[in-house]
Each structure stands twice: as C-alpha cells, then as structure tokens.
Structure 1
C-alpha cells in the first residue's frame, strides 16, 4: 500500500526547503550589491533565471532632487515617490521604463531557482529586498514624544524615564489589543523621546494611533501620580498625519532589522514640539480620511471620534481603575484651541492644542494643561 500522504508531506517539505534556499541565496546576493549601505534598491522584477533590480548609490535620490524647486525637479521627486511607494515589485516593462526615465541601468541577480508567480514567494522576496532599499508613504499618522528637561536628570533617571514611557506604550497596546484593536506600532528613539507610527496604513490605523496616544498619556499621568523621585517623565507629545520616507539603517555588514522614518511628517512634529511646554499635547494641521466617512477631516474630528471610540471600549481599566469618562476641555464650546507658531527658522506653523479631563474611579486627571 502506498502512503500518499507521506509522499505529499515529503514533497511539501522539499518544496519549502528549496524556497528557503532561493531566498537565502537572494539575500546573500543582495548583500554583495548593497556594499555596506553604499547602494540601495529602488525596485525589482522577477526574471526566468533570477531577478532584475534597479540599484543606485545611496546619494542618488538626493542629487536627483537637489537644487532649486523648478518644475522639472518637482516632477522628478513625484515620479520617484510613485516608484518607491508601496511594494517595490514591478513588471519587466515597468522596471525598464523606470530605469530609462532615471537614466540608470538594471542589475541582474542570478538564482539557482525561479521565484515563480506564487504570491507568498513573491511577498517573501519583496520583504527581503525592501530592507535594502527605501520606501515612500504618502500619508501616515505619527506620534512624537519628548521628555521635558531630560538633560537635567542623571543617567539613571534618564534610563528610568525612557523605560517608563516605553512601558506606557506597551501597556496602552495591550489594553487596546484586549479590546480587539491591534496597533501594529513601531518606534525609533530621538534620544530624549520617540517617534512612533503604525506599520499598517489607512483610516482605521490612523485613528487608532490617536486613541493609542491618549491611552499612553493617561497611563503616564497615573504613573507620575504614584511615582517617587524622577523615575516617570513629564512629556510633551504631538500627533500629525503626513508623508515620509522609510529606510533601514546600515549596521556593519547587514541592514538593520528595524526601520526608521524621515520626511514631512517628522519635520512638522519636531517643529510643533520645539517650543511646546511640559505636558502639552499638540495636533498638526492635517486633512485625512476617517473610517466609514466620506471626505477628509482635521484634528477636531479625529479627536471627537477617538474619544468616542475609547468611551465605547468595554471594561477598559487604567491601573486597575475603570475609566468613567474622558472629555475635551476647550476655551470655546466644542472647538479646539488654534495655535500659530513660528519656529527657529522663522517659518510659521499652524496647529491645535488639546487638553483633556479623564475621570477614573478614584481620581481625576488633567492632560495637556499648560
């Protein structure tokens, strides 16, 4: 009697092992072309004997869009943003067209097997290749936390404050996850704080990031009330939605596993907190989509919906206490306070200030008060 199920398992195992070898060979080849971060991949396309890549020096994009802001340069920047926005997987026709437009040549990487047309295999290859390149995101919610007077504390106090803020993020994540809201967040340190963003994109992830911010601030406020010494930080925080580039930093002979972001959204966040007071909460001047609603909306509507969603979460507890109410405190009924700031470069920036009152079972918190 033939054990067909056993033969099937062996074939599946051999197929999986073969795919793993191809992906390993792909990464080894990319590492050679990458040259310790000297080059980066803009896009790629599968080939019957391997794959084609569009690999350029790390300074290529900067040189391409340098100089004055003429129409030609602006058009080039838009074109490159479209090329590296989303997946860097392209068709043969697309990659040759892109190469011709940018005035560069494609590079061929030979593999011992073909990537084929299997979506899982292509997605796995794309994930590997992406870590050797740069991507563009046109719109994403990003947070910035800045610890007030950080440089005045001892190194041990600084470490404690960063760990405390990190714990508040993890605590807020767990609270939302228990309610069925999965915030797939990533972060990079600024030294005295963090940039935080949702790896997922869209209206729901953007709104979830604002709910995430509010829970982090509530957890931080409760922790400060219970702490002794300078172990829990007083933080300035900002929320904005905008565009950015995402890339992996070179670390020795390999690209980093973790990415970092830079672009319009991070620049605006830094400018907003430049002159912010300790404890202040600032939201940017943006227009973005909200879930299940037509059109785009600003900070006022985002705050209203985020608070409504937090109110609807069943059994939400902060430090063991149920949250009874959360409300916005405004100078004018129903309207957030508009801010007009001038940064150190003399550039004007519009934003809004957010103050909240949170009522727990045993205490009342004031957030964003200046």
Structure 2
C-alpha cells in the first residue's frame, strides 16, 4: 500500500482495527492492521474513486472472491423491461449481507453478466480477519437497501431569514442538543448508534442499528433532543436557539458512503422513500409541531418471533411501554418522573379521545397521511415540558382531509 494512501485512510483503518474482534493466536495487532490495510487497498483500487461498487463477496482459500459492478449498472438492470423476477432478485442482494455463498455469487454474476474477481491476499480471511470486519469494510465500497428504518427530521423555522452568524449559531445549538440527548441516553445505558445528515437548515438523524427497539430508541432520542432545545429556548435572549418543527417516519432507504476526496467517507448516508416522505411532511408542519408518518411495518414479535404488523398508532403504544426506563433522567437540573407520548385527536362521545389522521398535499400535488404527535415530560420539582402542538391549536396546519380513528 502506498504511504500516502495509508495516511489518508489511517483513521479509517484504525476504526476497523478496533472493530475486529478476532486476533489470531500469536499475531500482533500490527499484523492484523497490515491485513486490514492490504484488503482495504485492494477494495479501494477496484472501487476506482466511486466508479464501481463491490456488490458481494465470499471467502476463498487465500483471500476472497468479489463481484464488482459499475454503480450505474444496478439502475440500468432493474429499469430494463420484462425483468420483474430479476428486479426482486437484485433487491434481495442489495438488502442482505454482502457475504454470500460461492454458489450464490455465481448466480449473481450470471444475472448481471459480469465476472467474479479473485483477490489473492496471501492469507485466509477467516483466520486473520473475522467475517464481520471484512463485511463492514466491503460495505464502505458497496450499496445497501434497508426497510423499516426510523428517521427523524429536525427543521429550524425561519432559518433562511437569519444572518449567517445566527444560522451557524442555531445549527451549533441544535448539534449540542443532539449530543446532550445522546449523553443522557448513555447515562441510562440506552445505546443509540446515531448518524446524521444535514439538510442545510436542520438534520436527518437515524439509528445505525435497525430493529423495532432501535426505532423506539430513536423516537425517544428525538423527544429528548426537542426537550433540550425547548429548555435552551426558554433561556435564550437572542436568535441563538432555533425554533424547531420535527417529523418522524419509518420506511425504505438506500445506504451508501459518499466519496470524500479520494476515499469513501467513514460514515454512511441514507436516501430513499423515508427521507423523501419526511421532506414532504415537514413542508406542511407548523412551528413547534411533531408530525408522524402513517407507516405500517413488519417486525418479529418479541415473544413469538412471528411476523408482527405495527402501524403508527401501535408503534406509539409500544414506545410508551418502555418509557419508564427514562424515569430519573435529569433535564435542566431536575429528574424526570414520567413521560407520556400520544397522537392527538378530538374528544369522543364514549369518553377519552380519538386520533386524527390528516391528509396533506405537498408542492408537487402528491398527498400522504400523517398524525400529529405530543410528548409530555413531567419532572419532580419543576414545571412539565410540553412538546408538540395540541389538536385544538392546529389552525395554521394545512390539510386536505381529516379522518378520526378510534383512540
């Protein structure tokens, strides 16, 4: 490996060295590091500055076999006519692990009309590098498709009307609220491996871990960020703290690593239905509002393991169940005693409240269903923190239809 290439990706290599759980008997960490460098150098050369992606791999005797395809070939393939079955097959490949069996690798190569490339490392990956480290390395040069991932979008209201100094101050304030909320969750032993991507006047935030619990954790992460922001707003005497509106949705996405200089970035980016829906939803949200997408996810049931369908309402109900884990967490020098999360709606004759499902239309004339969410955080000795907008205060919220569901 050229010295300049090693230097440019040194932090990258060190991150994978930390990740590697397997060190062969008698081998030093410097030898393991050399193995990671050698593999990364080969992948980097075949990646060709982003021209190609490494779609799949399988171990071989002294290295591995990889499938290299130009990045545009995937979209060319799936948009070709009369390929319905093949499209499903390719999505299965993009959505799964990059490590496949030799037989499966041959099938993928035949479907795409490309050759398998044998990489001679001079060592067996299973012995010198564990499969998870190889898998994570290859994902940096690949493309993945995921389903049912939660993403939160925070948008600073009136951001474009501010001076550049006010804008950077507000973004720093929001970034601090994100970091502060993350630290609070870690204090309660709740792990969020979060990633974020800027929108210019806010952030997309998601959990790199994908599961029902990870999605619920992200929802709680979102309202702790909003709570920290609300506390900061009360203390601010200038435009240093943004007034936020937020959206939360679960859906499909693609995950990739953009080029940064001559190498992929260390952290992934996502784009897809979930981020597109969030961007359209936030257009109609009013200042201070928390808007929820109308999603339906399939996840293994925690007790039976069978497929379990959860809509937005059921998701909120399950999120409420584990909120006791946050009791005792400190916000602005006072402990949380209780948190209530719910979707708003009008009072009903039978008592209680219904849930309103709103139909909104974006600037392109496309419509979608959403819910209005509230979060009430009660503290031991201080006033509660109320996040979101009550149903009877949604006057400026532009909708094209309302359906009231049973609570």
Which gives a bigger RCO, structure 1 or 2 (Cα 8 Å, sep 6+)?
1
Distance in 2, Cα, partners of 1:310 & 1:264: 28
- Residue aligning to 2:140: 131
- Residue aligning to 2:311: 298
Q: Is the 8 A contact 1:22 1:112 kept in 2?
A: no
- 1:303 deviation in Å? 2.2
- 1:13 deviation in Å? 4.6
- Residue aligning to 2:220: 211
Change in CA separation of 1:344 and 1:21 when aligned onto 2, cut-off 3 Å: same
- Residue aligning to 1:346: 365
Deviations 1:209-258 (A, max 9, x none): 11111111111111111111111111111111111110000112111111
Query: Which residue of 359, 377, 383 corresponds with 1:358?
Result: 377
- 1:76 deviation in Å? 3.3
Distance in 2, Cα, partners of 1:148 & 1:117: 54
- Residue aligning to 1:188: 197
Aligned residues: 357
List aligned pairs for 1:101-180, cutoff 5 A.
101-116=111-126, 121-180=130-189
List aligned pairs for 1:1-370, cutoff 5 A.
12-14=25-27, 16-66=29-79, 72-116=82-126, 121-288=130-297, 289=299, 292=302, 295-327=308-340, 328=342, 330-332=345-347, 333-360=352-379, 361-369=381-389, 370=394
- 1:310 deviation in Å? 2.5
1:75 aligned counterpart, secondary structure: helix
Change in CA separation of 1:359 and 1:114 when aligned onto 2, cut-off 3 Å: closer
Q: Is the 8 A contact 1:41 1:54 kept in 2?
A: yes
Aligned-CA RMSD value: 2.2
Distance in 1, Cα, partners of 2:133 & 2:375: 44
Distance in 2, Cα, partners of 1:330 & 1:78: 40
Q: Is the 8 A contact 2:182 2:192 kept in 1?
A: yes
Distance in 2, Cα, partners of 1:77 & 1:263: 17
Distance in 2, Cα, partners of 1:272 & 1:45: 41
Deviations 1:37-72 (A, max 9, x none): 1111111111223221111112112222336xx6x4
Change in CA separation of 1:318 and 1:13 when aligned onto 2, cut-off 3 Å: same
Structure 1: gaps of 5 or more residues: 1-9
Distance in 2, Cα, partners of 1:201 & 1:165: 24
What TM-score does the superposition give when structure 2 sets the normalisation length?
A: 0.82
Distance in 2, Cα, partners of 1:172 & 1:147: 18
What TM-score does the superposition give when structure 1 sets the normalisation length?
A: 0.89
Q: Is the 8 A contact 1:19 1:121 kept in 2?
A: no
Bigger shift: residues 325-334 or 38-47: 325-334
Distance in 2, Cα, partners of 1:242 & 1:204: 15
Q: Is the 8 A contact 1:210 1:303 kept in 2?
A: no
Distance in 2, Cα, partners of 1:186 & 1:131: 15
Distance in 1, Cα, partners of 2:272 & 2:318: 27
- Residue aligning to 2:18: none
Bigger shift: residues 327-336 or 187-196: 327-336
Distance in 2, Cα, partners of 1:236 & 1:76: 41
Distance in 2, Cα, partners of 1:130 & 1:269: 26
- Residue aligning to 1:7: none
Deviations 1:9-53 (A, max 9, x none): x98453644433222111111111111111111111112232211
Q: Is the 8 A contact 1:287 1:297 kept in 2?
A: yes
Change in CA separation of 1:74 and 1:273 when aligned onto 2, cut-off 3 Å: farther
2:200 aligned counterpart, secondary structure: coil
